[in-house]
Structure 1
Amino acid sequence: MKSYISYKLVPTHTQVPVHRRYKHFDWLYARLAEKFPVISVPHLPEKQATGRFEEDFISKRRKGLIWWMNHMASHPVLAQCDVFQHFLTCPSSTDEKAWKQGKRKAEKDEMVGANFFLTLSTPPAAALDLQEVESKIDGFKSFTKKMDDSALQLNHTANEFARKQVTGFKKEYQKVGQSFRGLSQAFELDQQAFSVGLNQAIAFTGDAYDAIGELFAEQPRQDLDPVMDLLALYQGHLANFPDIIHVQKGALTKVKESRRHVEEGKMEVQKADGIQDRCNTISFATLAEIHHFHQIRVRDFKSQMQHFLQQQIIFFQKVTQKLEEALHKYDSV
């Protein structure tokens, strides 16, 4: 018997829940990536063929899809496009016919790829300075390269640190705890009454270190894992930008060539102006996408760093509490 996981989505503008499987997300991603050549559609969290119903994987993919949907819903173009709204609102589980109709309509959409630019309008008499555009694009290209390198490094560091907490730190703290309990057991050989309190306090200290080891093992789920989830999403964004920049650079190159052809008498001014207008449209769209990317980047990393530090504070407060409880056991010795 076949089994699969479905995800419940509740759009804020309809409050009507719909259910989607991973294959529906995959279909939506393909449609959006095909339709919008200069919009970064973040990659979906990976689909795992084997062991896909393991609890950790299910939880991780669910969190990744939440991030993905938040990015889709906060994009001024993607959130409003027909295919996304169909995905978000069509009750496929109760109206299979409506779902298939919307699916076919999206797959027959002719305004995809280069044709997407025909749907855009730019402000009248708003020709961009091509040198300024090229400078901004080059600056963003350098930014994405640096961000990609640093995100990769942070992801590696966080992953290694999380691994140490789950295995190494837990093991070392519990080894210390065991050693304290060993000392307590040795002291118990002295049967004098005034030794009892000390023995119990040292044993409690050992238990406290055991508990701290467990806290370390559980902590990455609260702080480092969410950071790595965000980095994974943005690494998907960053992987998209070389192609987006390539489209923009291609348009700029055509404008430069058309100007040279006009000077050489090989092209009419009117035709060159048309190329310039199309380049303007592509430039406006690309710069708008870059601006949006920076806005959501600041929003997301601010929120995630606040969450990370809040969780770190809570964690160390728990550690401090365990140590203070152990310390107070010696007050009555």
Structure 2
Amino acid sequence: MALQARALYDFQSENVGEISVREDEVLTVYSEHDIEGWLEGVNSRGERGLFPASYVQILRAAAGGGAAGEPPASRYANVPSVPPPQPQVAAAGGGGGPGVGSTFCPPPHHLQAAGGGGGGGGGGLVQLTALQHQASGSGGDDDDWDDDWDDNSTVADEPLSGSGSGGGGGMRFSPELDGPGRYRVSTGAGGGRAGAAAASSSAAASSSSSSKSTATVSRNLNRFSTFVKSGGEAFILGEAAGFVKDGDRICVVGGPHGPEWQEDPYPFSCSIDEPTKQTKFKGIKSYISYRLVPSHTQSPVNRRYKHFDWLYGRLVEKFPVISVPHIPEKQATGRFEEDFISKRKKGLILWMNHMTSHPVLARCDAFQHFLTCNDEKAWKQGKRKAERDDMVGGNFFLTLSTPPTPLDLQEVESRVDGFKGFTKRMDESVFQLSHTANEFARKQMVGFKKEYQKVGTSFRLLSQAFEMDQQVFSVGLNRAIAFTGDAYDAIGELFAEQPKQDIDPIVDLLALYQGHLTNFPDIIHVQKGALTKVKESQRHVEEGKMEPQQADGVRERCDTISFATLAEIHHFHTIRVSDFKTQMQHFLQQQIQFYQKVTQKLEEALQKYDGV
């Protein structure tokens, strides 16, 4: 049966597929369940298309009334014509739920089971729709993706038993829903700290609240922004829900310099040995295999580049405010050339070092599966499980356990703005240094080598000219001059080989950090988007259009995103200082050794003149 909605504001369509609506206009809506903030329907002028869900209010038909027929099927693939099933809402018990410990960190303060009553109110569990995970691997290395990944075997989805909890708004934590170590977590309309109070309000208060809630925190009209696509908006608006296992919990703790990720209690490293060329299909296809040896298992596994590429894609989708290091770029031709293989291996080693040193990425199930799985069937099962992971995008924030003390939003904004300026300046300097270092290396390998060899050739020509004098006493001098020419030839070769020892490692590190620096604008955009929603909710409260409990929920969820953002910024600075200290020490040590070799060649040439 068709629904009707009344437009609360004017909306002017800007893109194909959208329709314009006028304030107080009555529209026909095909489904009251919006997809990423958009509804499909027909306006009073008979135009059919999409319009923002936050711009209209659904009109509930009286009993016995309604339209004559069902609406036609939706013509948009992402707008369902049939409402999706909703989680069941169970009535909350009289007391607070039992405390549940964690193998890594305690449950977050805002996810504790709420005490008191509160039936299945209107703030039921809402599945995250702003970011739908597509279980499809990304291509890589110009090989057919399906050849050794997908077969006819199937892996059943893990059953998600249990039902949603009742109660008021805010984040809800239900420890008894899905067995030991697996809990239902969701965000509701109200704040976590004020959720119980909101749930126990009377019917009259609920009616008053519903009249104020007409001015909710709005959705971004730009549905392609990072804040929306990452799931940050869905989390802030209280639309994230999922099952969180103990092992999935991620702690942000207070450190001497602010929030930081809790250290991994079991740190490890992983080496990448010499790559080898392998074939399959009786030699029809060839590929390069890398041998990985994790320190915590000492069991080697073989991985191809496309396996790294698949893992990178999963991690980027799962962690919206973590800077996942970029893997070395793909190359269509020359994939089996020795220089390219060596360069890619060095890039993968740097990537692996950053992965294993990150307290969150190193513990990720997909990464551990990548490092440890040797069995082909188990590998495919783990791959599909990672692709069906629910705790990605906005749901990732449900796994966070943050300090109970609220953040100072003004201080957070100042720190994030400062880091934004820092990354911009660092990006410019990294680009400049990378360009300068590459140019200097090119000169050493070509220009310097050629110039030194020209000097060497000139010395040898002089020696050959002197040999035309048949005087015995000049033989020693002729040989010494010829040896000097050979020494300059050798020095030219040293210059040509030296960039591999000192400049190339710096360029590789700069390339890795250029990847990080391209990640942070999106991370900052997510935090800025959350902060904007907080300011909007505070403005609605001041205007009497929103209940304080709702604004408190937005504020708490913004704090969660801010804690994670600041923790990631702290980790970036920590690893940056360690990386550049180590690399600069290596560079200067290699420079000293290089000039010692040059000095040694010159001293050997000098000694030849002692007996002349």
* Correspondence for 1:263: 542
Match of 1:69 among 342, 352, 362: 352
* Correspondence for 1:209: 488
* Correspondence for 1:35: 318
Query: What's the CA shift for 1:210?
Result: 0.3
Counterpart of 2:610 in 1: which secondary structure? coil
* Correspondence for 1:96: 376
Query: What's the CA shift for 1:289?
Result: 0.2
* Correspondence for 1:199: 478
Distance 1:306 1:56 in 2: 25
* Correspondence for 1:7: 290
Task: Determine whether 1:300 maps to 2:556.
Answer: no
Show the 5 A alignment for 1:283-294: 283-294=562-573
* Correspondence for 2:517: 238
Question: Where does the alignment leave 5 or more consecutive residues of structure 1 unmatched?
Answer: none
* Correspondence for 1:112: 392
Counterpart of 2:398 in 1: which secondary structure? helix
User: CA offsets, 1:6-39, max 9 Å, x none?
Assistant: 1111111111111100000000000000000000
* Correspondence for 1:161: 440
Counterpart of 1:262 in 2: which secondary structure? helix
Match of 1:82 among 335, 358, 365: 365
Amino acid at match of 1:182: L
Task: Determine whether 1:324 maps to 2:603.
Answer: yes
* Correspondence for 2:468: 189
User: CA offsets, 1:19-61, max 9 Å, x none?
Assistant: 1000000000000000000000011101111110111110000
Counterpart of 1:5 in 2: which secondary structure? strand
Counterpart of 1:166 in 2: which secondary structure? helix
Amino acid at match of 2:353: N
* Correspondence for 2:556: 277
Amino acid at match of 1:45: P
* Correspondence for 1:313: 592
Q: How many residues align?
A: 329
User: CA offsets, 1:144-175, max 9 Å, x none?
Assistant: 00000000000000000000000000000000
* Correspondence for 2:308: 25
* Correspondence for 2:78: none
Match of 2:401 among 121, 124, 130: 121
Q: Which runs of 4+ in 1 moved over 6 A?
A: none
Query: What's the CA shift for 1:121?
Result: 1.5
Match of 2:329 among 46, 62, 76: 46
Counterpart of 2:598 in 1: which secondary structure? helix
Match of 1:251 among 530, 549, 564: 530
Distance 1:2 1:99 in 2: 21
Distance 1:162 1:235 in 2: 19
Identical pairs, percent: 84
* Correspondence for 1:143: 422
Amino acid at match of 2:577: V
Distance 2:421 2:289 in 1: 40
Query: What's the CA shift for 1:77?
Result: 0.3
Distance 2:440 2:567 in 1: 37
Amino acid at match of 2:559: N
Distance 2:335 2:402 in 1: 46
Distance 1:161 1:39 in 2: 34
Query: What's the CA shift for 1:122?
Result: 1.2
Match of 1:175 among 449, 454, 458: 454
Query: What's the CA shift for 1:100?
Result: 0.6
Distance 2:403 2:428 in 1: 37
- Structure number having the greater strand percentage: 2
Query: What's the CA shift for 1:115?
Result: 0.9
Counterpart of 1:47 in 2: which secondary structure? coil
Distance 1:211 1:147 in 2: 38
Amino acid at match of 1:119: T
Counterpart of 2:286 in 1: which secondary structure? coil
- Structure number having the greater helix percentage: 1
Counterpart of 1:4 in 2: which secondary structure? strand
Distance 2:427 2:402 in 1: 31
Query: What's the CA shift for 1:198?
Result: 0.4
User: CA offsets, 1:259-310, max 9 Å, x none?
Assistant: 1110001111001000010000000000000000000000100010011000
Amino acid at match of 1:222: Q
Query: What's the CA shift for 1:81?
Result: 1.0
Query: What's the CA shift for 1:233?
Result: 0.3
Amino acid at match of 2:485: G
TM-score (norm 1): 0.98
Query: What's the CA shift for 1:123?
Result: 1.5
Counterpart of 2:334 in 1: which secondary structure? coil
Distance 1:129 1:123 in 2: 13
Query: What's the CA shift for 1:227?
Result: 0.3
Amino acid at match of 2:423: T
Distance 1:160 1:122 in 2: 47
Distance 2:482 2:294 in 1: 54
Query: What's the CA shift for 1:218?
Result: 0.4
Distance 2:606 2:502 in 1: 28
Query: What's the CA shift for 1:111?
Result: 0.7
Question: Where does the alignment leave 5 or more consecutive residues of structure 2 unmatched?
Answer: 1-283
Query: What's the CA shift for 1:84?
Result: 0.6
Amino acid at match of 1:7: Y
Counterpart of 2:303 in 1: which secondary structure? strand
Amino acid at match of 1:40: S
User: CA offsets, 1:80-135, max 9 Å, x none?
Assistant: 011111101111xxx211001100110001110111001112122x1000000000
